[in-house]
A and B are shown apart, each in its own frame.
Chain A
Amino acid sequence: MLSLLWLVPALPAAGFVILTLFNRHLSRRAAAVIGVGSIALSAYFALSAGLDFMVNPPAGHAYRQVLWTWFDVAGLRPQIAFYLDAMTVVFMLVITGVGLLIHLYSAEFMRDDAGFTRFFMYMNLFVAAMLVLVLADDLLLLYLGWEGVGLCSYLLISFWHTDPKNVYAGRKAFIVTRVGDTALVVGLFLLFTDLHTLQIQPLMAAAQQHWAAGSGVAAAAAALLLVGALGKSAQLPLQTWLPDAMAGPSPVSALIHAATMVTAGVYLIARTNVLFSLAPDVRFTVAVIGTLTLLYAGLSALAQHDIKRVLAYSTISQIGYMFLALGVAGWSVAIFHFMTHAFFKALLFLSAGVVIESLGGEHDIFRMGGLRRRLSLVFWTFLAGAASLSALPLVTAGFYSKDEIIATSLGSVDGGVWLWAGALAGAFITSVYAFRLVFIVFFGETHTEVTSRPGRRMTVPLVILGVLSLVGGFVWMPEWMGGFDPLARFLETALPTTAMTGEGTGGSAAEALTGMVLSLAGIALAWLFWMRRREATAAWAARPVVARTQRFLLNGWGFDWLYERAFVVPVKWFARVARDDLVEPVVTGIAWLNVRGWQTLSSSQNGRLRTYLAVAGVGFVAAVAFVMWGWQ
């Protein structure tokens, strides 16, 4: 039922409107029904549209639905129109599907929160904005969704706004991503002035026609879009907001990291892949940034001791993999990794939410421990997520997508040995930090007692996501395993295929074996360090050199420190200096005059009748005198 496509973003938006209008009049039950129900219906329509699209592909493998013309000014005539192709189908299904599970989980997770209705209000708007972003037929409409998710992330990160720390975190997320957004807007201006449209498909065709490969203007446009994507997707050097975004409730983290927001950058680059193909240098930059980011974030994750910060750095690192894939023209592979990542990252965050709640709000992994028996279900789901994250060979979804990225980074004509080595090193680090988390949190001695256990509405999403994290990768198997790859075939209808060199061992079993061995080696190393010889590790970590390195990694390599000095301090200084400029006395003068005038008039209002009467008498005499003699 493709014609009902518009309902997919409209239903969460309607949920938001209803919750906003009747905010105080709704019981918790009603708010939950509306909040979760709108996403459930949206997921249903998304599924029916997606299935219809797969079974009866429309002409040209794309479906376009025009609702109305947004506005018509000076040649800019954007339409409110949705565009559905294979890539959008994948995004739409993941956003609504994973979003639904997260909403269901939230209905129980947030049950005692005073802002229950407000929470679902923001969450619904978040999903609606993200759906607009991926369904938009026009870059301007995409930008509307883009800003919408930015706003919602701000609202949700600072959801518990009575603690100033949370509000600062929300503000930081908003401002840092704003840097990227500004570049994106400038990029849109550039595209429009040069190609006179912002509708994505004609725009891409026009770019291909008018711009030569490697030309300066194509590079500028691609670079500006890239900076926008870097901000939203928390890649170097705009990654600093994401670890602090953990201030929000756990389901929010799951939604931001898995289904919405951070993958927007990946979507944007994949959607405008033509531009990036016209600018090979910029695309190579994407690959380099992706590789650097995945190493940077992986190493940072090793040193964290807040469970959610480990997962946050892990997200940055996994998005780095997607950027690497995009950079070597592995468009479809990036989307594949987006999908599996959405499954296991949502699972990890929701499981972490249960752990944190069960321990009465404890975030420090070193004060957890021994939860394997006490929270056995969560242990198994978390294990599934961690295994998928560390690409445990053959049985997890993460293995298939990450293996494909690693293979592409070497085998693609745009790939290279250094990118491949970086990706492999990242895979090793990933399994070390993922299983460090598992061993510290779920094994060993108990440090904090379990005070509550999750209910049905929280465990069902965990189990579903756990299953998806394991089997979600079988839709795209490498060639040496039989090459069953319906997802790759499906995505090929929307995205260009990757040109492979065909030399070397790209995509073969031998090469995949390297990845498998590294993944298992990482798990073994984590087992050795944090299971077998925990005391020795603790003693080793206390040595000054190690401790200093750990502090460096813990603080994210000092990026916050650097930005504080490079940007925040100068801006604050300038604001202080600029306070006493020439305009200041004028503005304060007007305010002073008003205050004095008010004081004078106010003192005449003294309540003394005889004074009033005298003034009235004087006024009367003056008026009569004016009438009689005043006109000459």
Chain B
Amino acid sequence: MIAVVSAGHGLALAAILFAIGFAGLLARRNLIVVLASIEIMLNAAGLAFVAAGARWGQADGQVMFFFILTVAAAEVSLGLALAISFRRYLRRLDVDRAERMKG
């Protein structure tokens, strides 16, 4: 028998994942880790869609997840490019170094 995971549990997991990602975003200064945190938050959002889709018995949630995957792929490619030029200009991957852009 397939173990049934309730929508509530799925959403709770998504919230926990999102919080972990957000905490990483705030706490870590390494740009690579920041990108990874954002990735976790994106996936938390995807999980919430899937859980909600299962709850209502509709495929929309899973379709939405494909979109999120695509966006995540695009985001990673942009983010890594950004990380390379960040390092080139600011010599480190420390996001607090971007403080000097304050105008």
Q: Interface on A for B, CB 8 Å cutoff?
A: 605-610, 613-614, 617
Contact = CB atoms under 8 A, between A and B. Distances in A.
Contact of B95 (A605, A606, A609, A614): A609
A613 B99 contact: no
Contacts of B26: 610, 613-614, 617
A621 to B, nearest CB: 10
Contacts of A605: 102
Interface string B7-36: 000000000000000100110010000000
Interface size class of B (residues with CB under 8 A): 10 to 19
Contacts of A610: 25-26, 29, 95-96
A605 B102 CA distance: 8
Interface of B: 22, 25-26, 29, 95-96, 98-103
B22 A606 contact: no
A607 B26 CA distance: 15
Nearest to B101: A607
Contact of B100 (A607, A613, A614, A617): A607
Nearest to A610: B26
B102 A607 contact: yes
A606 B29 CA distance: 17
Contacts of A607: 98-103
Contacts of B101: 607
Nearest to A608: B99
A607 B101 CA distance: 7
20 contacts: A606-B99, A607-B98, A607-B99, A607-B100, A607-B101, A607-B102, A607-B103, A608-B96, A608-B99, A609-B95, A609-B96, A609-B98, A610-B26, A610-B29, A610-B95, A610-B96, A613-B25, A614-B26, A617-B22, A617-B26
B61 to A, nearest CB: 21
Contacts of B22: 617
B24 to A, nearest CB: 11
Contacts of B25: 610, 613
Nearest to B100: A607
A608 B100 CA distance: 9
A614 B23 CA distance: 9
B38 to A, nearest CB: 11
Contacts of A617: 22, 26
A610 B24 CA distance: 11
Contacts of B29: 610
A118 to B, nearest CB: 40
B102 A606 contact: yes
A617 B29 CA distance: 17
A233 B103 CA distance: 60
Contacts of A613: 25-26
Nearest to A620: B22
A610 B95 CA distance: 8
A610 B96 CA distance: 8
Contacts of B102: 605-607
B96 to A, nearest CB: 6
A71 to B, nearest CB: 52
Nearest to A617: B22
Given A610-B26, A614-B26, 11 more contacts: A605-B102, A606-B102, A607-B99, A607-B101, A607-B102, A608-B96, A608-B99, A609-B95, A609-B96, A609-B98, A610-B95
